[in-house]
Amino acid sequence: MQRRGVLAEPATVFTHHLELLLLGEDPLHLPYHIIWYPDTREHFRYLTARQRSIVFDSVEEQLVNEPTAETRNRKEMRPNSLASWELRIGDLRVYYDVTEESQTVTVIAVGIKRGNRVFIGGEERQL
């Protein structure tokens, strides 16, 4: 299993699932693969080391299995130009998309919510 912060090509994930099928395993019952969008590296520069650790741990804990199941902290977002889903971790926000076919979660952005404003990579974003 890949550890946090690793970037992977979606084709690699698909190939892995194809290999599992050939071995007789059902990839639909395996955990989702987390892919960090390259822009998230810049977003993490605006977080403290503690905040980064909280984000990595929460993503691994909450998005590896059933990332599209709505919970108190995991919501499908209204249509926007950023992502389909939001993970709330206190004042931190993780924005992600899910691809069911390849069972991947792509983390698009990581930000901080202050009041009714969200800052991603140090810049305020309207969602």
Residue 127 has a pLDDT of: 77
What average pLDDT does the segment 94-102 reach? 95
What average pLDDT does the segment 62-80 reach? 95
What pTM, to 2 d.p., does this model score?
0.77
Contact present, 8 and 32 (Cβ < 8 Å): no
Between 95 and 6, name the one with better pLDDT: 95
pLDDT band for 126, please (50, 70, 90 cuts): confident
User: Which fold does the domain 10-125 belong to in CATH?
Assistant: YaeB-like fold (3.30.2310)
Domain residue limits, the chain: 10-125
- Mean pLDDT (the chain, rounded): 85
Between 61 and 7, name the one with better pLDDT: 61
Tokens of 28: 């639909």
Percent of the chain with pLDDT over 90: 74
Contacts of 114 (CB under 8 A, 6+ apart): 91
Between 84 and 15, name the one with better pLDDT: 84
